Amino acid sequence: MSAFIESVRAALRTKRYSLQTEKSYLAWIRSFIRFHDLKHPTDLFNEEIEQFLSHLAMNRQVSAATQNQALCALIFMYKHVVKREITGLKYSFTKKPRRMPTVLDVQEVSTIIGFMKGKYRLIAALLYGSGLRINEALRLRIKDIDFTNKTVFVFRGKGGKDRYTLLPQKLVEPIKQQIEVSKKVHKRDLEDGFGLTSLPPSLIRKYGNAAKDTAWQYLFTSSTRCEHPHDGYVCRHHIHQTAFRKNLRTAVVASGINKRVTAHTFRHSFATQLLLGGTDIRTVQDLLGHSDVRTTEIYTHVIGSRFSGTASPLDNLAY
């Protein structure tokens, strides 16, 4: 069965899927095969797919998004590897419930960031100050910071879109200090005969030794070198999301703030604070990298601008 899994991996890489998607899809496909006692997918049809999806919903009680991801993985496998279209399934993609994002006020942000230290504090400040997603912040390279124009360049954000966003003045010096840390790490790598940064698949053949340039190094470099998962060369990647999440969780607990705070909460808070400060919604849309302004409009609901000037009837009641 490992040969089949490798054929799925090859198809994913041919289609230029991200490494994270590759890992997720392969995990779901392995789970599907194990659920059916290691039968080959060519011998499994709609009924078996429906049984697996029912198992996820009923026994494992996964979320709608997780169930959709599993279905996407199976559809990809059958379409591109088994070469069979999946039609007539009793299951369709589950609609995710629309939830209002959790946001923090200025004092809450200040308190949480105050309990964070070092590079993790700087990452949190970038999430809030520039409206970055966590993976966008971790993938920043030295060349992406423009101190002259006070901008941060986001390369291939969600949906593969490039964009510029704000570089807060307060972060200029901390980022310069972090760049010096990355330069020192890079210098040691070069002295050890390495120095290549991690690049998207196949770009190493385009850039070659240019990938050793300081400008290409990650702002938040990993503490260890690794083998590139696609191209096999030894490189240095950025720090992992889990390291930041652990530090953030510790800070939230220490702050005593009773909200569910994730890395993305800082991005939500960035958007709401801009709108509260009078920034027009189109500008906020561009800074966040949203394709549709309707996605950005959810923040107007969060801050209650739709109800501006509307008094509750209870406030007029004498009791």
Active site residues: 133, 158, 264, 267, 290, 299
The candidate with the shortest Cα–Cα distance to 22, out of 84, 104, 105, 80, is: 80
b/e burial code for range 52-89 (CB count within 10 A of at least 16 → b): bbeebbeeeebeeebbbbbbebbebbbeebbeeeeeee
The candidate with the shortest Cα–Cα distance to 71, out of 10, 25, 39, 35, is: 25
**What interhelical angle do 263-276 and 281-288 show, nearest 10?**
160
d(CA 283, CA 289): 10
d(CA 22, CA 73): 9
The candidate with the shortest Cα–Cα distance to 151, out of 133, 134, 175, 135, is: 175
